[in-house]
């Protein structure tokens, strides 16, 4: 039995560390440092879990949990870890471009190409997607009054597959290399002829695992919205975040399938010479471009629609008003979801199709701006004459409106094929895309994270640190990307490692300053969590409603119990919880309690994730015995799970009654706080509705009735 049979294409020089010794250079030392961080980070995590004795709790309470809330948290934690890597890579790329004026800089061309490929791949598939999926997993079932998602085990498997894909991307820092073909991985460059190494294979299997996991998530969330809404909640009574979850899940279901097909066909080209996308033997790479962008453009709205839903929860809460134009927002969401499938071809206006086709897709691209404009106006009208509290989430929202409109206008420019032809493949395009994604998705996720953090963990985040983070992010984004508009218009191309135009130097310097400010903002968010955890007793909001929220998730304790609701709520209106608070009938004890069934923990999901990771790693390195073993192991777990019958556990009515009555008693005994005390230690999660703060006599009567 020889080496190849056991280890496939793996060699000693596959380790990233060997390059620094055999071919020392600044680029190799950067790679050495990145690989070392991954190894040391893994060692530190293992040591911490061992020293603190957390292995058993981690396995029993988290990795095997089927609770949608814990799964949502793990999605977000995964996204945060990957986000830190992607931000560091962005800083390295920008510093390389600053250093490479009329010279080579400090990175090798292939290394730079790997960086922009991993940055894009990670930010889309392993930051934005899992973070949004985490929010949808955690918040949507609470908003519709459900105990869990429809398929809890499928939910855990989806997370395990996504995590396996992320681990595969991280492994490429230590073993081998990642793709140099960009996040879109266009063949024929990513075919075996031009990219014979393992980098493209890492990309294929990491993305494939992610898309399979996200497709299963879409099925789960769609079924949950349709089947698990509480009594009385019609579709037109759902909160906007639940509506955007519904539409984004529909997009995921139909948009991710073309990408999974494309990555599978590309893999068949590379492994079995199928010639789907080659330049010869009947292949056609335009088939790949169509499949990829059939996913790629709806993907933009998979990312941004849930954030639109977050803004639709944050704005009315911190404006102390009902959401303006609810129905128009719903119809706009549906319209965006529909039109997003009709405009994919604008991503290759320059690839040779007729002028008539380009014009049709250009018009379609412009049309999608109409429902987006409806949303902007509805949010502004919600704020109009509201009693706005300029909390950190609201600061992010106001900033988002201003900067996002600028990005939208540049998108209208790019929808014109003649303009697109001039700036295609330039830094203008990079500036536009980031102008939509960073304020539109990333900063929205930060706002939602701060908004719902007290619901998830039972204590608020430190407001001062949040504001400091915002005041780093706000100018940081403008400085980092607005200069790219200018030099992109003058011809600066994207994905370029070095350049010789002296006029670009000040623009790259300003962009580097912006990146540093963004990194400072990330640091402040990390410090915010540390400070808030230290002061968690003062920031605690166990009563569950620190912001005077309007939807059902704010009606239960923070953090929520495993079963979510002691008794499934019955609603009769859109803002039932807010209206009940104003009428003094919120927090009423139920007439009776019943036993509740919730899913038992299962080790199936993490075992499937490990088997999928082993299978993908073996395919990357052509370790065929491991491919067979892991494939059999994966399906063995699935088959074994099908024989398990004891999948549910009972929470007795007596326990529900004891816990819920203690919560209601705490609500009765607590003193409500108004908006002026919202950020003070007096805020324990019982907010006095803003309406009652301005009707003293009625307020005293209603609050007295509630007590």
Q: For the residues of 150-194, what is the DSSP string, one character each? A: S-HHHHHHHHHHHHHHHHHHHHTTTBS---SSTTTT-TTTTSTTT
SS (H, E, C) 549-579: CCCHHHHCCCCCCCCCCCCCCCCCCCCHHHH
**Band (5; pLDDT cuts 50, 70, 90):** confident
Three-state DSSP class for residue 648: strand
Listed in sequence order, the residues at least 6 apart from 44 whose beta carbon sits closer than 8 Å to its beta carbon are none
The answer to whether residues 586 and 580 touch, using CB atoms and an 8 Å cutoff, is yes
Euclidean distance between CA atoms 312 and 451, whole angstroms? 12
CA distances from 184 to 179, 276, 674 (A): 10, 16, 50
**Band (704; pLDDT cuts 50, 70, 90):** very low
Given a cut of 70, whether residue 470 has pLDDT beyond it is yes
CA distances from 707 to 316, 586, 593, 671 (A): 26, 10, 22, 10
Euclidean distance between CA atoms 58 and 384, whole angstroms? 47
pLDDT, tens only, 556-572: 999 999 999 999 999 98
- The tokens for 549 are 């929220």
**In the prediction, which pLDDT does 655 show?**
95
Q: Is the peptide bond before 188 cis (omega within 30 degrees of 0)?
A: yes
Euclidean distance between CA atoms 377 and 368, whole angstroms? 15
The answer to whether residues 494 and 426 touch, using CB atoms and an 8 Å cutoff, is yes
Given a cut of 50, whether residue 662 has pLDDT beyond it is yes
Give me the mean pLDDT over the 119-139 stretch: 96
Give me the mean pLDDT over the 420-442 stretch: 93
Euclidean distance between CA atoms 24 and 325, whole angstroms? 62
The answer to whether residues 420 and 489 touch, using CB atoms and an 8 Å cutoff, is no
Phi and psi at 650, nearest 5°, equal: -105, 130
Inter-helix orientation angle 326-339/285-319, to 10°: 170
Given a cut of 70, whether residue 39 has pLDDT beyond it is yes
Give me the mean pLDDT over the 266-272 stretch: 96
In DSSP terms, 81 is beta-bridged to none
Inter-helix orientation angle 109-121/68-99, to 10°: 150
Per-state percent for the chain, helix, strand, coil, to nearest 5: 70, 5, 25
Give me the mean pLDDT over the 575-597 stretch: 91
Three-state DSSP class for residue 275: coil
Three-state DSSP class for residue 595: coil
**In the prediction, which pLDDT does 1 show?**
61
**Band (707; pLDDT cuts 50, 70, 90):** very low
Give me the mean pLDDT over the 121-130 stretch: 96
Distance between first and last Cα of the chain: 78
The answer to whether residues 547 and 393 touch, using CB atoms and an 8 Å cutoff, is no
**Which is more confidently placed, 271 or 675?**
271
The answer to whether residues 373 and 398 touch, using CB atoms and an 8 Å cutoff, is no
**In the prediction, which pLDDT does 694 show?**
64
**In the prediction, which pLDDT does 702 show?**
41
**Band (644; pLDDT cuts 50, 70, 90):** very high
388 Cα distance to chain centroid:
27
Tokens 């320059």: give the residue. Answer: 350
The answer to whether residues 202 and 243 touch, using CB atoms and an 8 Å cutoff, is no
In DSSP terms, 599 is beta-bridged to 648
Write the DSSP assignment of 391-420 as a string of letters: -HHHHHHHHHHHHHHHHHHHHHHHTSHHHH
Of all helices (H) and strands (E), which one includes residue 598? Answer: strand 596-599
Phi and psi at 648, nearest 5°, equal: -120, 150
- The tokens for 305 are 């629609």
CA distances from 198 to 205, 488, 527 (A): 11, 33, 38
The answer to whether residues 214 and 299 touch, using CB atoms and an 8 Å cutoff, is no
pTM of the model: 0.95
Three-state DSSP class for residue 651: strand
**In the prediction, which pLDDT does 696 show?**
52
Of all helices (H) and strands (E), which one includes residue 599? Answer: strand 596-599
Euclidean distance between CA atoms 659 and 566, whole angstroms? 8
**In terms of residues, how long is the chain?**
707
Given a cut of 60, whether residue 697 has pLDDT beyond it is no
pLDDT, tens only, 198-257: 999 999 999 999 999 999 999 999 999 999 999 999 999 999 999 999 999 999 999 999
The answer to whether residues 336 and 248 touch, using CB atoms and an 8 Å cutoff, is no
pLDDT, tens only, 614-642: 999 999 999 999 999 999 999 999 999 99
Write the DSSP assignment of 674-705 as a string of letters: -GGGTTSTT-SSBBPPHHHHT-HHHHHHHHHH
Give me the mean pLDDT over the 368-378 stretch: 93
Least confident of 84-88, 441-445, 589-593: 589-593
- The tokens for 623 are 């370790």
Mean predicted lDDT score pLDDT of the chain: 93
pLDDT, tens only, 481-529: 999 999 999 989 999 999 889 999 999 999 999 999 999 999 999 999 9
Given a cut of 50, whether residue 329 has pLDDT beyond it is yes
Residue 118 CB neighbour total at 10 angstroms: 27
Euclidean distance between CA atoms 121 and 86, whole angstroms? 9
Q: What is the DSSP letter of 23?
A: S
Return the domain boundaries, the chain. 1-52, 399-540
Least confident of 60-64, 305-309, 490-494, 556-560: 490-494
Q: Quick one: CA torsion of 313, 318, 323, 324, rounded to 10 degrees?
A: -130
Phi and psi at 649, nearest 5°, equal: -125, 155
Q: Is 134 exposed, middle or buried (0-12, 13-18, 19+ CB in 10 A)?
A: buried
């Amino acid at each position: 039995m020889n080496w190849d049979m056991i280890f496939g294409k793996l060699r000693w020089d596959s380790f990233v560390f060997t390059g620094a010794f055999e071919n020392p250079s600044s680029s190799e030392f950067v790679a050495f440092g990145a690989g070392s961080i991954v190894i040391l980070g893994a060692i530190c995590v293992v040591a911490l879990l061992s020293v603190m004795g957390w292995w058993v709790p981690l396995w029993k309470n988290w990795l095997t949990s089927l609770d949608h809330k814990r799964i949502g948290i793990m999605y977000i934690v995964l996204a945060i870890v990957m986000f830190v890597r992607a931000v560091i890579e962005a800083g390295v790329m920008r510093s390389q471009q600053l250093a490479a004026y009329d010279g080579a800089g400090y990175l090798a061309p292939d290394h730079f190409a790997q960086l922009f490929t991993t940055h894009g791949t990670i930010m889309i598939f392993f930051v934005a997607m899992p973070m949004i999926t985490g929010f949808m997993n955690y918040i949507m079932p609470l908003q519709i009054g459900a105990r869990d998602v429809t398929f809890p085990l499928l939910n855990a498997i989806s997370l395990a597959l996504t995590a396996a894909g992320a681990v595969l991307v991280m492994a490429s820092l230590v073993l081998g290399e990642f793709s140099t073909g960009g996040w879109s991985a266009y063949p024929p460059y990513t075919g075996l002829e031009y990219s014979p190494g393992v980098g493209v294979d890492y990309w294929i299997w990491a993305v494939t695992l992610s898309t399979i996991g996200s497709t299963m998530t879409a099925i789960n969330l769609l079924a949950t919205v349709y089947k698990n809404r509480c009594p009385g909640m019609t579709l037109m009574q759902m909160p906007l975040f639940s509506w955007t979850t519904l539409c984004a899940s529909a997009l995921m279901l139909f948009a991710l399938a073309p990408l999974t097909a494309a990555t599978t066909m590309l893999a068949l080209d590379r492994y079995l010479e199928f010639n789907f996308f080659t330049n010869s033997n009947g292949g056609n790479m335009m088939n790949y471009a169509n499949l990829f962008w059939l996913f790629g453009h709806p993907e933009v709205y998979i990312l941004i629609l849930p954030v639109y839903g977050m803004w639709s929860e944050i704005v009315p809460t911190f404006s102390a008003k009902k959401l303006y134009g609810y129905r128009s927002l719903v119809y706009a969401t549906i319209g965006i979801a529909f039109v997003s499938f009709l405009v994919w071809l604008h991503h290759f206006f320059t690839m040779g199709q007729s002028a008539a086709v380009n014009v049709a897709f250009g018009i379609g691209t412009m049309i999608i701006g109409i429902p987006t404009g409806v949303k902007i106006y509805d949010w502004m009208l919600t704020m109009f004459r509201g009693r706005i509290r300029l909390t950190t989430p609201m600061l992010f929202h106001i900033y988002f409106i201003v900067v996002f409109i600028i990005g939208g206008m540049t998108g209208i420019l790019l929808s014109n094929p003649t303009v697109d032809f001039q700036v295609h493949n330039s830094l203008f395009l990079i500036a536009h895309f980031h102008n939509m994604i960073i304020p539109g998705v990333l900063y929205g996720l930060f706002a939602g994270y701060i908004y719902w953090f007290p619901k998830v963990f039972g204590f608020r985040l430190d407001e001062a640190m949040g504001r400091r983070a915002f005041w780093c992010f706000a100018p940081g984004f403008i400085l980092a990307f607005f200069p790219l508009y200018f030099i992109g218009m003058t011809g600066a191309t994207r994905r370029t490692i070095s350049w010789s135009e002296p006029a670009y130097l000040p623009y790259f310097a300003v962009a580097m300053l912006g990146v540093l400010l963004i990194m400072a903002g990330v640091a402040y968010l990390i410090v915010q969590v540390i400070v808030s955890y230290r002061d968690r007793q003062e920031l605690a909001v166990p009563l569950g409603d620190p912001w005077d929220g309007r939807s059902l998730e704010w009606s239960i304790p923070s953090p929520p119990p495993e079963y979510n609701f002691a008794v499934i709520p019955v609603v009769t209106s859109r803002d039932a919880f807010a209206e009940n608070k104003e009428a003094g009938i919120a927090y009423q004890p139920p007439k009776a309690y019943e036993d509740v069934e919730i899913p038992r923990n299962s080790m199936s999901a993490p075992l499937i994730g490990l088997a999928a990771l082993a299978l993908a790693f073996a395919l990357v390195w052509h370790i065929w015995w491991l491919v067979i073993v892991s494939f059999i192991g994966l399906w063995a777990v699935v088959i074994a799970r099908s024989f398990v019958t004891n999948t549910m556990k009972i929470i007795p009515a007596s326990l529900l009654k004891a816990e819920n009555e203690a919560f209601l008693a705490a609500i009765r005994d607590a003193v409500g706080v108004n908006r002026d005390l919202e950020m003070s230690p007096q805020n324990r999660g019982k907010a006095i509705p803003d309406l009652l703060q301005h009707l003293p006599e009625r307020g005293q009567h209603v609050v007295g009735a509630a007590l």
